[in-house]
Amino acid sequence: MRVVGQNDKKWTRVGVRTGLAVLALAVLASGCGQDREPAEPAGGQQPLQAPPARALDSYAGKLRAAQAARAAAAKRWGLKKVPLAAPPPPAEKPRITTREGFEVDGHERLDLPPVFTTVPVEEKVVFLTIDDGAEKDPEFLRMMSELKVPYSAFLSDYVVNDDYGYFKDMQKRGVSLHNHTLHHPYLPALSRARQKREICGMQDVVEEHYGTRPVLFRPPYGNYDKNTLRAAKSCGITHVPLWNEEVFADHWEYREWDRKIHPGDIVLSHFRGRDDWKGTMPDMIRRFLDKVTAEGYAVGRLEDYL
């Protein structure tokens, strides 16, 4: 049995100008083909705006308001810069394959879920994923909602079962909830049947409490074998995302030798607080966002790419 173990504002101004330019072209196009100037309104009244011009003003106003709210939230939460807005989700999803060296025997023949640490993209976008569910910090929920930063949660029942409502609130805020087993065991030490109980059992928990059956699964500690992936597939899992970097409240850790972030990297963190970290979850998010923003990266929603 083989075991695989893995333990700002500038961009927004450009976006505003681009959006305004597109709408301005629409305004110009609406006047093409006219042979004469429009008549002056009687009585010195101001002419009514054409519909495209009103749309231009409305669009620009919404962009300014959204940017002002984002900038205010960044300041309120102590960020060095305003986080960059993610690019639109790709119309055609990238093809996800298992990272070289992360395969199990018969991986392709058995059509097992791909195991990957990076999504193949060209844009400077990364994906934040958070595991287990031990810390249930309401400030973290508020911070992420105000900053509008997407992330994905991989939950284990043994630490979320004391407060399913916290993660229901998280789900209502647009976060997808995924599978991290019932009890967070070292899976390769278990039989295929016991692994299946851990994975399928968590599928049942998520469906019962949150109304969805996950298709993403992360094995505890990043450890898995062929039985893990066969059990996961039988439970409805389609993808097994691992990670390329891990962020804590006070430091980063890297898988790659260059110790750098790369386009499409999946970043791991955990639901932790001062009992386990030198800081809080908001501290972790500040460290995460300050680094990725300074390096020109936006945070995307992982599910949009799979």
* Tens of pLDDT, residues 71-127: 999 999 999 999 999 999 999 999 999 999 999 999 999 999 999 999 999 999 999
Domains of the chain: 115-305 (3.20.20.370)
Question: Once rounded to an integer, what is the mean pLDDT over residues 40-45?
Answer: 48
Residue 11 pLDDT class (50, 70, 90 cuts): very low
pLDDT at 43: 47
Q: Which has the closest alpha carbon to 104: 227, 186, 219?
A: 227
Question: Once rounded to an integer, what is the mean pLDDT over residues 176-204?
Answer: 98
pLDDT at 48: 52
Question: Once rounded to an integer, what is the mean pLDDT over residues 169-176?
Answer: 98
Instruction: Please give, one letter per residue, the 3-state secondary structure of the chain.
Output: CCCECCCCHHHHHHHHHHHHHHHHHHHHHHCCCCCCCCCCCHHHCCCCCCHHHHHHHHHHHHHHHHHHHHHHHHHHCCCCCCCECCCCCCCCCCCCCCCCCCCCCCCCCCCCCCEECECCCCCCEEEEEEEECCCCCHHHHHHHHHHCCCCEEEECHHHHCCCHHHHHHHHHCCCEEEECCCCCCCHHHCCHHHHHHHHHHHHHHHHHHHCCCCCEECCHHHCECHHHHHHHHHCCCCEEECCCEEECCCCEEECCCCCCCCCCEEEEEECCCCCCCCCCHHHHHHHHHHHHHHCCCEEECHHHHC
Sign of CA dihedral 220, 222, 227, 233: positive
Residue 169 is encoded by which pair of tokens? 């609130």
pTM of the model: 0.81
pLDDT at 6: 52
Residue 141 pLDDT class (50, 70, 90 cuts): very high
pLDDT at 56: 72
Q: How far separated are the first and last CA of the chain, in Å rounded? A: 29
Residue 30 pLDDT class (50, 70, 90 cuts): very low
pLDDT at 235: 97
CB atoms within 10 A of CB 235: 22
C-alpha neighbours within 13 Å on the C-beta side of residue 195 = 23
Question: Once rounded to an integer, what is the mean pLDDT over residues 29-46?
Answer: 45
